[in-house]
Chains A and B, each alone.
Chain A
Amino acid sequence: MFLVSSVSNQKPLLEEIVEKYSDMVLRLATIRTKNKHYAEDIYSDVFLRLIKNYDKLRDENHVKAWLIRVTINCTNTYMKKMSRDNLPLPDNIPSFSEPVFSEVYQAVASLPDKYRTVIHMHFYDGLAVKEISRLLAQTESATKMQLKRAKEKLKVILGDDFNDK
């Protein structure tokens, strides 16, 4: 198959990366674009870039951070292109099996872009404030502030159902 894994630096095989991080990339792209189809385009773009740059990646941590960073960049580029071409940005939130899932997801998706990005990275990817700050190229205090305000907004949206935990 493609590319032999470098055991010495513990860089995973491309197949392993695709298997392990595909969902992470797609979900981050989905919450940022709020459109599943756009997110799939971005997913393809991100992994094609990964194929081209596979030799430059060092280890698994680097791979994950690289994927998140490139996904954010690709999303920004995609959204700018859509905006420049005056194409509509329809909300096409994927349907969920449980209404409560949809309610929470829609609440996050309704946040401004910078808030829902940090919420997603913090809640779903489990990234620490420091790591989010590094990936978004901003200060930790800015990330903390964004998280705080995002939670406040979610509390307003979800009302009594909001649980800060």
Chain B
Amino acid sequence: MTNNELYRMANSEISVSEAMKTEILRAANSQYRNGRILLRKKRLAALMAAVLSLALVCGIIWMMPQVTQLPLPKPSESLSGTTLNEQNENKVYFNPMQRDVFDQDKIKLFEVAGNETLKFDSLPKDIQDFLPVPPQEYISETDGYHVLYSTGWREFMIDGKFYHQKSGESSLYIGGGKRAAEVDDGKNPLLTLKPSVIGETQTSIYLMKDEEELSAYRMTEAGAVYFIVGSHISERDFLSAVEQSMK
């Protein structure tokens, strides 16, 4: 008998007992059952995840129209007035009325008597500097009302109505009879301030050169013009400043 055969014979005496084999098969069956249970749990979890995902997608789809129906900022209307409320909704980014910060030091108040003829050179220096383009003409006592002619204004507000100039050189007239306020060199009347309106109410006019600078004018019943030059001017601050000046 060769060593090889002897070694084989020796190994043949080493064998696994039937009890150990049975134990392995029992473990296999247990594992199989556990596997089935685990598989069921996995399937249930997958089903739950699918349902939740579907619910999430449905929720997003349901929310989408509501999101898209939210009011979007609209560009200011060219050569047409919108109410202050509309302006608040549509031009939030450029609404001086909503500026919470008000730098009191930048407010300058300048009063002009109703019957006084104003010249640009006679305006205070800070007002001259503020105006983007020096007023070409200021006519006092034209039809009994003041006319301010200037160019370069982008946006302005008259009595709570917001206006936006077209582009290029534009002008704003204040006063001047039936055509008190116009743009585009008067070719396209924007707003007519009737004498009775000016005579009976106080008219607030805000001129905005850009987002940071703002000039406010106010015509009083007596025809006085108040200039307030500064930034972040609110309606309340403006009125407060005028009231202070009239004391």
A residues neighboring B (CB under 8 Å): 1-3, 14-15, 18-19, 22-23, 25-27, 30-31, 36, 40, 43-44, 47-48, 51-52, 94, 96-98, 100-105, 108, 119, 123-124, 154, 158, 161-165
Q: Which residues of B contact A161 (CB under 8 A)?
A: 3
Known: A23-B14, A43-B16, A96-B13. A105 touches B7 (CB 8 A): yes
Can you give 10 A-B contacts (C-beta < 8 A)? Answer: A1-B25, A3-B32, A14-B28, A25-B16, A26-B15, A48-B27, A101-B6, A103-B6, A104-B7, A165-B3
Bound state CA distance, A27 and B7, in angstroms? 11
> Which of A44, A96, A163 has a CB less than 8 Å from the CB of B24?
A44
Cβ contacts B21-47/A at 8 Å (1 or 0 each): 101110111011000000000000000
* A158: nearest chain-B partner, CB-CB: B3
Most A C-beta atoms less than 10 A away, residue of B2, B7, B29: B7
**B20–A22 touching, CB < 8 Å:** yes
User: Do the beta carbons of B3 and A47 come within 8 Å of each other?
Assistant: no
The 5 closest A-B pairs by CB, nearest first: A101-B10, A22-B16, A105-B10, A104-B6, A165-B2
Among A15, A105, A119, A154, the one with the most B-chain Cβ atoms within 10 Å of its Cβ is A105
The one of B10, B29, B31 in contact with A96, judged by C-beta atoms closer than 8 angstroms, is B10
B4 at the interface (CB under 8 A from A): yes
A30 x B27 contact (CB < 8 A): no
Q: Are A162 and B14 in contact (CB under 8 A)?
A: no
Q: How far is the CA of A161 from the CA of B7 in the complex (A)?
A: 13
Q: Could you say which residues of chain A place their CB within 8 Å of the CB of B25? A: 1-2, 14-15, 18
Question: B9 contacts the other chain (Cβ, under 8 Å)?
Answer: yes
How many angstroms between the C-alpha atoms of A40 and B14 in the bound complex? 11
Find out whether the CB atom of A30 lies under 8 angstroms from the CB atom of B13.
no
Contact indicator A40/B20 (Cβ below 8 Å): yes
B66 within 8 A of A: no
- Within the assembled complex, what's the spacing in Å between the Cα atoms of A96 and B2? 17
In the complex, chain B residues whose CB is within 8 Å of the CB of A48: 24, 27
Option from B1, B6, B7, B14 in Cβ contact (under 8 Å) with A36: B14
Contact pick for B3, options A26, A36, A104, CB 8 Å: A104
CA distance A161 to B15 in the complex (A): 26
**Which of A1, A30, A98 is close to B14, meaning CB atoms less than 8 Å apart?**
A30
Residues of A within 8 A of B23 (CB): 44
CA gap between A104 and B38 in the complex, in Å: 49
- Does B187 lie at the interface of the complex (its beta carbon under 8 Å from any beta carbon of A)? no
Nearest-neighbour CB distance to chain A for B30, whole angstroms, equals: 9
CB-CB < 8 A to A15: which residues of B?
25
**Interface check B8, CB cutoff 8 A:** yes
Contacts of B9 in A (CB 8 A): 98, 101
Are A94 and B3 in contact, CB atoms less than 8 angstroms apart? Answer: no
Q: Are B15 and A43 in contact (CB under 8 A)?
A: no
Knowing A158-B3, A165-B4 are in contact, say whether A18-B21 is a contact too (CB < 8 A). Answer: yes
